[in-house]
Amino acid sequence: MNNNPADVRHPRGPRPVWGMKLLVLLVLLVMFAASGCGATPPAWFRLNMVEATKQKLTPEQERQVATVISAMFGTPDNPVALPETGLDEAKLRLAAGPVRSDIVGRKNGLYREHCAHCHGVTGDALGPTAAFLNPYPRDYRPGIFKFKSTERADKPTHADLTRVLKKGIPGTSMPSFALLSETQIDALVEYVKYLSIRGETEIGLIRAIFELDEEAEGKLPETREFLVGERLAEVVEKWKAADTALIDVPEMPADIDLVESIAKGRELFYGDKANCVKCHGPTALGDGQANDYDDWNKYVVEWTSKEVNGDADKQWVNRAHRVLDGDTLEPRTIQPRNLRRGIYRGGRRPLDLYYRIHAGINGAPMPGAKGTVPPEDIWHIVNYVQSLPYELDGELGADRPMVARDRF
Amino acid sequence: MASAPIGSPSTVRSTVNGPAIVAWILVATTALLLSFGALVTTYDAAMAVPDWPATFGHNMFLYPLGEWFWGPWDLFLEHGHRLLGATVGMLSLLLAAILFRRPASPALRWLVIAAMVLVVVQGALGGLRVILDDKTVAKVHACTGPLFFAVATAIAVLAGRRGRGDSSGPATDRSDAVGRDSFVAVGPLTLSLPSWAVGASLPTALAVAAYLQLVAGAQLRHADATLAASTFRWMVAIHLAGAAVVTVLAALTVIAWQPHESRTARRWSLAILAMVGGQLLLGGGAWLFTWGLPAWLQEAWAPAEAILARSPRGAAVITGHVILGMMILGAAVVLALEWGGAERLEQIARTGIRGGGRRLHGPQARLVPGAVTVRPRSERGAR
């Protein structure tokens, strides 16, 4: 007989010991969920380790560059826009920092919300998802941009970058941000410029270490005159000049005979002045020269093959390889565009194509026709390129498929 | 409906099973809560409200409804998530109060206690995420959510069974119903199923795998922008491998449950497989909306326009991927418990994991005095 109430409630056995185990299990699960991550580290700008290693900076020199650059530009949460940069700090503050939307009608941290996963907090194209993208996301630090209305070596205008953000880049992972407000896009463009100016200034500082004379003892002068007046100004000047570097586009003749123009364009395309055929191939499927790299990848490839492996200092070679492993992505060749698909990354307006053909594509092997083809004739090439996705006759013949998708 | 077994602590039975109804309401509310949570992550809206537990200084419940409902989208999501969270917390309390006033099986009680602990921890994590503005906390918060959902589902299943008298007496022999015929015909093939493949083992494994998949997915969704590309690559690889494991387990479950006597059970297993199929599609869609077409696909086909970031369609696909993942978890829990696993769980709750029906499905006798008796398979066939 048993009149212990506890036993009455649990007639079938001893009280469960299972509770403790459940708790342990819970704790384990929560730990599992949190594994591999301590508290989130504050966002920081990474030093350009590839350039620093390439220039064989000592650790002290690396530290100096990092300190100087952060004094000039602030941190990802606290950007600084020196008046000399011409950047609008209020816009930067909207784009920078962690994501917040607790002020009605305002979202802060836009860059980290929309861009940083691919382009990286530093704008070094080393965001977590970067390795999955083909083409890789753009690294802003060298200050080279492809799709713009300015001459090849010039910076893009504010409007060019705005257009890229609004339209996205078809055929790549870069989406269109057309759903964001004008203010937000404006802030993001400003922030991209900020990261680019910061990155290019940093590269300039690292390289400047090698132009130092003996008495500097490997240390950069920390004067405003040198840092801002020389290094920063050099970069900012180029951005300021963009608005005056617009490509001069002649009006397309209104009475142009399209059939004739296309025929002329075709001639130029295959001729040896423009020589588009060399890369885009006789079929224009983009199957010409295909073993080239764009500037970003070439930089890595050349450094690896020529300099790193040929160096006598084995310790440095090891260090360089570590940097290559951690701070670069597997180099990829660039494919000349298949022009029969009608997908244009820089925009598909005739004007966009004019810019591309006139100036070439900065950072890519695609050369400009400027100088070899008279400005008016470039319109003929534009017309021919635009006809390519629809071209049904020609020398291709039945065994040469018209569009890439027919090949599969 | 079975009559109450003799010796059951409760012989009074109404047709309305209060606890089960409350439990299923809890499950549904939690599903909505988690959907809001997933949307908060998709739209990066967690910091739409700067304080916690207050909302802009207001008591959360007194924050003007109109301002919330017609306010900015981010605020709608975040404050809505908080209101739902509070509702789920109160429903859990209510359920606990009901269940603890009545006789309930130990398993049910322990699950309710677990739910209470989880709901409190989860609320605190949500608060910390905001107060510290910390993504790591957000990550853990995202992993605890589905765990609570699974527990709530388990409670609802057990409470429902109890209402039907299924677990109030000595466990019935349902657990070996699946194993009764261990041969399955798949097309022209006849498969002989090993003993581990029958009963609740597969759906249990499926539930665990589905949960771990949600955890892996949460790591991807909450990846910090400073994370190294190489680390992220591993995380994606793990999530993809997890998808393969879940798919295989779901398919195996369907095969193993073919001979089951209950049509509902067979259909339930098929439904899970269909959900997993849909989940693979949504996962592919989520990939497309975040990263665009992979290069090898672009060669064959690509749109002439860029993807639109933050489009409602994209947000629906990406968030839907999270929600369907949670549904798969819940469905696997139901399948595991409703047809076989409940007895085992009761067994474990009564006697601890070691004495528990560890090999309930094996051909062996007497596990625990007074508990279920399982006969060897040869004997069963002769029945």
pLDDT in tens, A222-232: 999 999 999 99
Residue B9 within any structural domain of the chain = no
Are B302 and B174 part of one and the same domain?
A: yes
**Which of the given ranges, A31-40, A160-169, B14-23, B373-382, has the highest pLDDT on average?**
A160-169
Three-class DSSP category at B95: helix
Are B155 and B222 part of one and the same domain?
A: no
Domain boundary, last residue among B166, B191, B220: B166
The pairs formed by A258-262 with CB atoms below 8 angstroms and a separation of 24 or more are A258/A383, A261/A379, A261/A380, A261/A383, A261/A384, A262/A380, A262/A383, A262/A384, A262/A387
Are B189 and B161 part of one and the same domain?
A: no
Name the residue of chain A whose CA is nearest to B219's CA. A33
Residue B54 within any structural domain of the chain = yes
Q: What pLDDT score was predicted for residue A10? A: 41
Q: What pLDDT score was predicted for residue B187? A: 63
For residue A132, the chain B residues in CB contact (below 8 A) are 233, 236, 291
Cα distances (angstroms) measured from residue B169 to each of A15, B8, B111: 18, 6, 19
Neighbours of A70 (CB within 10 A): 17
Residue B4 within any structural domain of the chain = no
User: Domain tally for chain B?
Assistant: 2
Task: Indicate the range of A149-163, A180-194, B113-127 predicted with least confidence.
Answer: B113-127
pLDDT band at A8 (very low <50, low <70, confident <90, very high): very low
Task: Indicate the range of A30-39, A264-273, A333-342 predicted with least confidence.
Answer: A30-39
Residues B350/A13, Cβ–Cβ less than 8 Å: yes
What integer is the mean pLDDT of A18-34? Answer: 62
Q: What pLDDT score was predicted for residue B262? A: 82
What integer is the mean pLDDT of A143-154? Answer: 96
- State the nearest Cα–Cα gap between A280 and chain B, in angstroms: 15
Query: Are A176 and B308 in contact (CB < 8 Å)?
Result: yes
Are B157 and B283 part of one and the same domain?
A: no
Three-class DSSP category at A271: coil
Are B143 and B177 part of one and the same domain?
A: no
List, for chain B, all residue ranges whose pLDDT scores fall below the cut of 70: 1-15, 162-198, 352-383
Domain range holding B30? 17-166
Residue A36 per-residue DSSP state: T
pLDDT band at A36 (very low <50, low <70, confident <90, very high): very low
Copy the structure tokens of residue B281. 């599609």
Domain boundary, last residue among B166, B194, B224: B166
Q: What pLDDT score was predicted for residue A392? A: 60
Q: What pLDDT score was predicted for residue A396? A: 47
Helix and strand element counts for chain A (H, E): 18, 2
Q: What pLDDT score was predicted for residue A205? A: 96
Copy the structure tokens of residue A197. 């100016």
Residue B2 within any structural domain of the chain = no
Domain boundary, last residue among B140, B166, B192: B166
Copy the structure tokens of residue B156. 């609802």
Are B269 and B160 part of one and the same domain?
A: no
Copy the structure tokens of residue B148. 């609570």
Structural domains in chain A, CATH included, are 49-244 (no CATH), 258-292+334-406 (1.10.760.10), 295-326 (no CATH)
Query: Are A168 and B368 in contact (CB < 8 Å)?
Result: no
Q: What pLDDT score was predicted for residue A32? A: 57
Indicate the helix (H) or strand (E) that contains B274.
helix B263-291
Are B219 and B358 part of one and the same domain?
A: yes
Choose from A8, A28, A129, A147 for mutation: most chain B CBs within 10 A.
A129
Residue B307 within any structural domain of the chain = yes
Are B217 and B187 part of one and the same domain?
A: yes
Per-residue pLDDT tens over the stretch B83-134: 999 999 999 999 999 888 877 788 888 899 999 999 999 999 998 888 888 8
Q: What pLDDT score was predicted for residue A270? A: 93
- pLDDT: which is higher, B244 or A101: B244
Choose from B122, B224, B289, B358 for mutation: most chain A CBs within 10 A.
B224
Q: What pLDDT score was predicted for residue B57? A: 82
Close Cβ partners of A71 (under 8 Å, ≥ 6 residues apart): none
Find, among A55, A36, A32, the residue nearest to A303 by Cα.
A55
What integer is the mean pLDDT of A304-319? Answer: 84
- pLDDT: which is higher, B190 or A63: A63
pLDDT band at A346 (very low <50, low <70, confident <90, very high): very high
Residues A156/A329, Cβ–Cβ less than 8 Å: no
Q: What pLDDT score was predicted for residue B356? A: 44
Are B253 and B274 part of one and the same domain?
A: yes
